[in-house]
Amino acid sequence: MSRTSLNIALIQQSDQGSAAANLDDCEAAIRAASIRGCNLVLLQELHNGPYFCQTEDPALFDLAEPIPGPTTERLSGLARELELVIVGSLFERRAPGLYHNTAVVLDSDGSLAGIYRKMHIPDDPGYYEKFYFTPGDLGFNPVDTAVGRLGVLVCWDQWFPEAARLMALAGAQLLLYPTAIGWDPKDTPDEQARQLDAWITIQRSHAIANGLTIAACNRVGFEPDPSGITSGARFWGNSFICGPQGEILARADDQSPKLLVAEVDLARTEQVRRVWPFLRDRRIDAYGDLGRRYRD
């Protein structure tokens, strides 16, 4: 049964050097979140290891695992024991030669409530995800859980208003973004500040435009490029939770791991949408060109 108020925990981590160590770190933080009364825990993107997409290496496909699989089994056991909902992020091996960047939702009884396969796949210096991940084929469908209907999206998805809107139109009660994004150490401080501000602003805009709470959980710390071609990435943390008017409820810094907790009132969506009725005033009769790549 869904509720209107819940405590959300975001687990902002740095890589611990191995999948086993990272999962141990996840478990310790999840247990700490449970002690603090959290009903929902969001982990960062690809939390089992470093962000391996900085380089293209066929051997790294060995990191992928099936769903259900070892990680979902471990998270399932924690969800069942602690009676909370956990959203994790995995490198999914769907079939030989077919891999996805996939979010998994474990319900409070330990069951696999649903999955979301990342739809927007970047391909930029240091973010060579198209080499590893097939674009998602499940669409933008929220996952029903004991704490409500969760609109789960992943990292690059967070820049696209269409994804947030479609989740909202499907009845999502909040939007969740597991994330791995950072700075090129060679960028100037001004450029780094602009990038971070853009990242926070675009997600706050999704909250405002849809009248929904959003939570974005990013990793933190420097990770070298294994190929040595680039300067590596310094992941900027700043995991945050904001309400349906874009108000910041909690935010981490860019320096250290953090268990970020906030209480959110999902009932505010109804209150805010009555005053700011964006869904009512949408001109759905005039948006046909949104289905085109570009208007030449």
The catalytic residues are 45, 118, 155
Nearest-CA neighbor of 180 among 225, 143, 218?
A: 218
> Quick one: DSSP state of residue 149?
E
What's the rounded Cα separation, in Å, for the pair 29 and 284? Answer: 44
- Gap between the terminal Cα atoms of the chain: 48
Nearest-CA neighbor of 273 among 212, 206, 201?
A: 212
* Whether 151 contacts 279, CB under 8 Å: no
Element containing residue 271 per DSSP (H, E): helix 268-275
What's the rounded Cα separation, in Å, for the pair 15 and 251? Answer: 20
Can you read off the two tokens belonging to residue 228? Answer: 């040595």
Helix, strand, or coil (residue 157): helix
Q: Computed over its alpha carbons, how large is the radius of gyration of the chain?
A: 18
Pairing of the two strands 182-183 and 213-217: unpaired
Give me the DSSP letters along 83-122. Answer: T-EEEEEEEEEEETTEEEEEEEEE-TTS-EEEEEE-----
Can you read off the two tokens belonging to residue 133? Answer: 């991940």
> Quick one: DSSP state of residue 285?
G
Place of tokens 């947030």: 164
Nearest-CA neighbor of 74 among 35, 28, 36?
A: 28
